[in-house]
Structure 1
Amino acid sequence: MTVVEDRPATAEAPRPKRPNRLWALLRNSWRQLTSMRTALVLLFLLAVAAVPGSVFPQRGVNRENVAEYFTANPKLAPVLDRFFAFDVYSSPWFAAIYLLLFTSLVGCVLPRLREHFRALTTVPPDAPKRMERLPHHDGGHRRPEEPAAVAAEIAKTLRRRRFRTRVRETPDGWTVSAEKGFLKETGNLFFHVAMLGVLIGVGFGSWYGWHGNRLLVEGQDQGFCSALPQFDESVLGPRVDASDLPDFCMRMTDFESTFQTTGQPKSFEASVEVSENGGEYRPERFTVNDPLRLDGASINLIGQGYAPILRYTDRFGAQQTAVVPFLPTDLMMTSEGVVQFPDVNVDPNGKRDPKLQMGFEGVFLPTGGTDGSALSQFPAEENPVLYLAAYRGDLGLDSGKPGSVYALNRDKIDSGSLQKISGDRPHVLRPGEKWTLDDGTTLEFVGTKRFATLSIRHDPTKLSLLVGSVIGLTGLMMSLYTHRRRVWFRVLAADGDPAGGSVIEAGGLPRTDYPGFGDEFAALTRQMKEGTR
């Protein structure tokens, strides 16, 4: 016979709720991203990511240097270009680090700002019961005054030392709680907020800023105006249109440069005439470290060189004069360049033969040596020499394909459409000398003019970046030189009778690493027990 026991019915135990794995993953990822360690790692990665921008030429700064790098490194340059080595600051990986750092800082600052506000509005905690366990303790000092008067005096003294104080009455006496050093966290927040401001300023500056480069030769007929086609290079922010550029025109009247005996540059100064918004031209002067500031643009002097003046007389007696900048290749201003005459040798009937176009390439030395080497001996113009090779044929300027104005079309030379007619050795010219070619045409080296390389920029967030940097440095100093600490004083009646005087016990706790807190605590306790006001 089977016996069945009667058991009371019990409700089935609820199953534990399974955590949402996706939510847990997102929460943990957010905590990791917004941690201070991650922010420091991202800041370090941003600094490392900016290194290629200093090592490799950037298209947004100088496209000619990028083209020269491709020519010098035909195999390596395309590989680097796939990883945006020549467009570092607009690359996806740089933008990803930038956005992650911005997100990390926002997620780090907001909770700390809330906690700091709570700490500022919270009164100092009451004294612990056993202050002898604190890192700094001093007790057993007697004062003849009553406990209430002593506590009030201690609080007053601490307030003069800029402590936040709170006096509490206890069943056996009085306690004074004091806290100081909140500027440390305030400085930390200033630093992080300033860094956020700098990141925002950099972002808005790239959106609403623009810059362009212009090589300006001295002379009344060599000026330019602030129109995109007249810039040698230009980069506009995504929110900037060509019509947003400031209205100004400029021409250079003089350029002065001095050099040390070693050839190192000593000073550069450009004299220009500027017209803004269609007004009259006014004289201005600016140097390398003192840019010219206009309404909506800042013009910096970043380079200089020489522009030979060459006059070509064709077979029909027509003359053309070209002022062509030669680009420096070393500190001694050894310069290379190309002079092209596409509209020469046109007969009086107007018939134009493209096979009779003329091109010259060579090297200009401001101070040529006596050994005949194609290297300048000094950057100043003391013995100018021009070494040229002549080419006749189709220059390729009418093909519609973009090309460099500082080099002849190598494809035309390789195909034979543009042939060298000057022999293997370059022809040497000095100012005032003429070169008679094989067909009776002549090329005269008239002289030289100076040119300056200008960088025209507009950054609408420059002031905000300056303010952010100053606030960031101020916050960093506040964080480094301010220390959070707390002190407590317990004032009890001596022998249990307030009329018999008071007994003072003190304790201190540094909230951060503060080696000088021991001396400060000793000075405070000594002042309190002596009753020095």
Structure 2
Amino acid sequence: MAKTDTDSTSGATPGSEPGSEPGAESGTRPESGTRPESGTRPESGTRPESGTHPESGTHPETGSGSGAEAGTESESGTATATSRHTGNDHGFGVAGSKLSTAPSDESGQAVPGSFGGVRRPGLAGRLSWLGRETVGWVRWFWRQLTSMRVALMLLFLLSLAAIPGSLVPQTNVDAVKAEAFKKTHQAVTPLYEKLQMFDVYSSVWFSAIYILLFISLIGCIVPRSWQFVGQLRGRPPVAPRRLDRLPAYTTWRTEADPGQALSAAHALLKRKRFRVDPAPEGGDAVAAEKGYLRETGNLAFHIALIVMLIAFAVGQLWKSEGGKLIVEGDGFSNTLTQYDDFKSGSLFDDDDLDPFGFSLDGFDADYERTGPEKATPRTFRAHVTYWKGADGKPKKSSIEVNEPLEADGSKVYLIGHGYAPVVTIKDGQGDVVYDKDAVAFLPQDGKNLTSSGVVKVPDYRDKNGEKDQLGLQGFFMPTYVPGSGQMASQFPALDNPALFLTAFHGSLGIDGGTPQNVYKLDTSRMKQFKDGQGGKFKQMLTPGKTMTLPNGAGTVKFEGVRTWASFQVTHQPGNGFALGGAATAVAGLAGSLFIQRRRVWVRAVRAEDGRTVIEMAGLGRSESAKLPEELGDLAFALQSHAPPAAEGESAEDSAEEPAEESAEGAAKEPAAVPAQGHAGDPADEPADTDHPVDPSEGARA
């Protein structure tokens, strides 16, 4: 049917019948019955009201598509102009509504840059959008956290965060040094305390980095582990169609049957510990792969990392650590009340303490006496008797630096040693109130062991029988040199021990039950004894000497010196797993770095001349200069089962011709290894029959 092409200036409308007068109104139906006002088309050239355009392509009478041919829109674009000017999509129908990007109350509003997509009106729509948005952000955060880039960043941050722990004294390592640092650097101490610089490894920010790194590694390692498992279970891929395009390749001709050659190749590769996928029935190639231990190393390395992380976490949560100072002759039982200081993990329970104990029998200490390293310790050895359990049999042992005593999962480390003067004190009534007890004095210098300490006597009576309390404060020097002008020891060994004491009486401040430091004397409520001239009473004692207190207050006798040693008892479960994980990680990493994964294919096909063409090719999963050499060795070994054929004519022709002609024709045969690896026609290229083919020459890298 011919389409009416109406000029836009003629006044005819697209819906008019053919042959109608130009002046007729286009909106009038020829038959009876007029179109409603909303559907009437205005006269040509006038702009219709919005929504008055009739449906496109519908005939006024029948409603069929014939009107689309006779009543097609003219080039004037009246309907198009109507849609464009009125801003609606009725001119495009359903397609126009889909192309529109304007927000609609019915379909919802798209939020740019969000994970929730279109946000539909109403409370349910908003809640649904909020849920999708939350899930989208969580997924994005998880993808970022478990990426290798973020894991490396967190590992770098963890190494940076550990630097303050090495520069600033840590309270849990050496409380004395930490206190000394605070007194020396009073300006920065408040800031350091707020930043938890004295407890770096248990701080909130260090723990946050550690936990994020833990989660990142777990999320990164677990998917990779499954990937490695899949690679381990995989079979060698089938042989490519063009083996000569591989980086290592060799070929030769043989009189052996193709099936026999493939069977020999299968057995050879098996013997060389390749994973072999035999040729399928009717197939012409054998596929083999070697170096799966590389993937095993990868898998072992990643699993070992997870084991190490879990072991470290278990060790921190259930660990216990305590210190104890033991004077020679005294003992220790592994109960909470026996510790001088104790700390544990958040999940530790008192019942987790291992049942054991030990006593200090003696202590050996040797020092360098001459040279630039004078007073440097050479030997620190504590002799102990230990037992396990309540009914355990006592055993002798020794503890040295870095050689701890192991008992039921706990380790006892030797931390330090010092001296404990032994004194006997009598009160004003002549009664012994302190009977040859050893008092540990703490070293004030780390080299010559000049030490300070106190003696507290709560049950004491003066010369009148009145109850009082006595306190002694003093310094001990293992090697005192008179006339040196220094109140300090000159050597850490007991060469000339001396004890300097001053005495106080009054209230020790212990009756109220307030805990006190046993190594310090609170003199705020005490008075110092005075000598005959009214000065402060003090005296130097050597072993065996006695000091008489003023006004008949009693006597103090220096009986001798014992040694003491400080020990650290640690219990950290998971150390064995951490050590095993570290060893496995190192072994797996070495395997993944040094083991080369490579593939080898052997193809044997019957050529047109009746001989068998054998092709061997290799491909390394990583760069390896040994692959061509290995392929040459395999080819040489395979030739014992499929030897290269004599370079001559085909086997059928050589059976009919004399041997001389066969030898002459052999000079015209091609070489066993074509230049491009193709099994060429024997008549195409010259050959050298005087030199047998070495298959390794055909393997190229």
Using the size of structure 2 for normalisation, the TM-score is 0.66
- Asked if the contact 2:248–2:619 (Cα under 8 Å) also holds between the matched residues in 1, the reply is no
Name which of structure 1's ranges 258-267 and 463-472 shifts more when overlaid on structure 2.
Answer: 258-267
Q: Secondary structure at the match of 2:198?
A: coil
User: 1:264 corresponds to which letter in structure 2?
Assistant: T
2:612 corresponds to 1:501 = yes
Which structure has the highest strand share of the two? Answer: 1
Relative contact order: is structure 1 or structure 2 higher (C-alpha 8 Å, sep ≥ 6)?
A: 1
Q: Relative to structure 1, is the Cα distance of residues 2 and 281 closer, same or farther in structure 2, using a 3 angstrom cutoff?
A: same
Give the deviation of 1:391 after TM superposition: 4.5
Q: Relative to structure 1, is the Cα distance of residues 249 and 120 closer, same or farther in structure 2, using a 3 angstrom cutoff?
A: closer
* Match for residue 435 of structure 1 among 540, 547, 570: 547
* Match for residue 157 of structure 2 among 26, 36, 45: 45
* Aligned equivalents of 1:518, 1:420: Cα separation in 2: 95
Larger radius of gyration: 2
Q: Secondary structure at the match of 1:129?
A: coil
Name which of structure 1's ranges 35-44 and 473-482 shifts more when overlaid on structure 2.
Answer: 35-44
Name which of structure 1's ranges 468-477 and 443-452 shifts more when overlaid on structure 2.
Answer: 468-477
2:22 corresponds to 1:12 = no
Name which of structure 1's ranges 15-24 and 469-478 shifts more when overlaid on structure 2.
Answer: 15-24
Give the deviation of 1:390 after TM superposition: 4.3
Output one character per residue of 1:97-120: Cα deviation in whole Å (capped at 9) or x when no partner.
Answer: 222222222222222222222222
* Aligned equivalents of 1:431, 1:177: Cα separation in 2: 89
Q: Relative to structure 1, is the Cα distance of residues 381 and 148 closer, same or farther in structure 2, using a 3 angstrom cutoff?
A: same
Structure 2 partner of 1:446 = 559
2:484 corresponds to 1:484 = no
Report the RMSD for the aligned CA atoms in angstroms.
3.4
2:316 corresponds to 1:224 = no
Alignment of 1:49-128 (within 5 A): 49-128=161-240
2:265 corresponds to 1:150 = no
* Match for residue 382 of structure 2 among 238, 254, 270: 270
Give the deviation of 1:449 after TM superposition: 0.5
* Aligned equivalents of 1:247, 1:515: Cα separation in 2: 60
- Asked if the contact 1:62–1:233 (Cα under 8 Å) also holds between the matched residues in 2, the reply is no
Name which of structure 1's ranges 12-21 and 48-57 shifts more when overlaid on structure 2.
Answer: 12-21
2:116 corresponds to 1:3 = no
Percent sequence identity over matched residues?
Answer: 34
User: 2:563 corresponds to which letter in structure 1?
Assistant: R
2:452 corresponds to 1:337 = yes
* Aligned equivalents of 1:246, 1:375: Cα separation in 2: 42
* Aligned equivalents of 1:10, 1:508: Cα separation in 2: 63
* Aligned equivalents of 2:158, 2:500: Cα separation in 1: 47
Output one character per residue of 1:378-430: Cα deviation in whole Å (capped at 9) or x when no partner.
Answer: 32222222344444554444455444333334xx55xx856586868974332
Using the size of structure 1 for normalisation, the TM-score is 0.85
User: 1:341 corresponds to which letter in structure 2?
Assistant: K
Structure 1 partner of 2:6 = none
Q: Relative to structure 1, is the Cα distance of residues 489 and 443 closer, same or farther in structure 2, using a 3 angstrom cutoff?
A: same
Q: Secondary structure at the match of 1:472?
A: helix
* Aligned equivalents of 1:39, 1:169: Cα separation in 2: 45
Give the deviation of 1:224 after TM superposition: 3.2
- Asked if the contact 2:298–2:592 (Cα under 8 Å) also holds between the matched residues in 1, the reply is yes
Give the deviation of 1:214 after TM superposition: 0.4
Give the deviation of 1:302 after TM superposition: 2.0
* Aligned equivalents of 1:379, 1:478: Cα separation in 2: 52
* Aligned equivalents of 1:515, 1:405: Cα separation in 2: 72
- Asked if the contact 2:460–2:467 (Cα under 8 Å) also holds between the matched residues in 1, the reply is yes
* Match for residue 324 of structure 2 among 210, 214, 225: 214
* Aligned equivalents of 1:481, 1:273: Cα separation in 2: 50
Structure 1 partner of 2:298 = 188
Name which of structure 1's ranges 188-197 and 138-147 shifts more when overlaid on structure 2.
Answer: 138-147
Name which of structure 1's ranges 11-20 and 82-91 shifts more when overlaid on structure 2.
Answer: 11-20
* Aligned equivalents of 2:546, 2:625: Cα separation in 1: 81
* Aligned equivalents of 1:479, 1:287: Cα separation in 2: 41
User: 1:334 corresponds to which letter in structure 2?
Assistant: L
Q: Relative to structure 1, is the Cα distance of residues 226 and 349 closer, same or farther in structure 2, using a 3 angstrom cutoff?
A: farther
Instruction: Count residues with an aligned counterpart.
Output: 519
Q: Relative to structure 1, is the Cα distance of residues 361 and 512 closer, same or farther in structure 2, using a 3 angstrom cutoff?
A: farther
User: 2:366 corresponds to which letter in structure 1?
Assistant: T
* Match for residue 303 of structure 1 among 416, 436, 441: 416
Q: Which runs of 5+ in 1 are unaligned?
A: none
- Asked if the contact 1:359–1:395 (Cα under 8 Å) also holds between the matched residues in 2, the reply is no
Q: Relative to structure 1, is the Cα distance of residues 65 and 408 closer, same or farther in structure 2, using a 3 angstrom cutoff?
A: farther
* Aligned equivalents of 2:423, 2:449: Cα separation in 1: 18
Structure 2 partner of 1:516 = 626
* Aligned equivalents of 1:430, 1:334: Cα separation in 2: 17
* Aligned equivalents of 1:231, 1:310: Cα separation in 2: 25
User: 2:541 corresponds to which letter in structure 1?
Assistant: L
- Asked if the contact 1:391–1:420 (Cα under 8 Å) also holds between the matched residues in 2, the reply is yes
User: 1:224 corresponds to which letter in structure 2?
Assistant: F
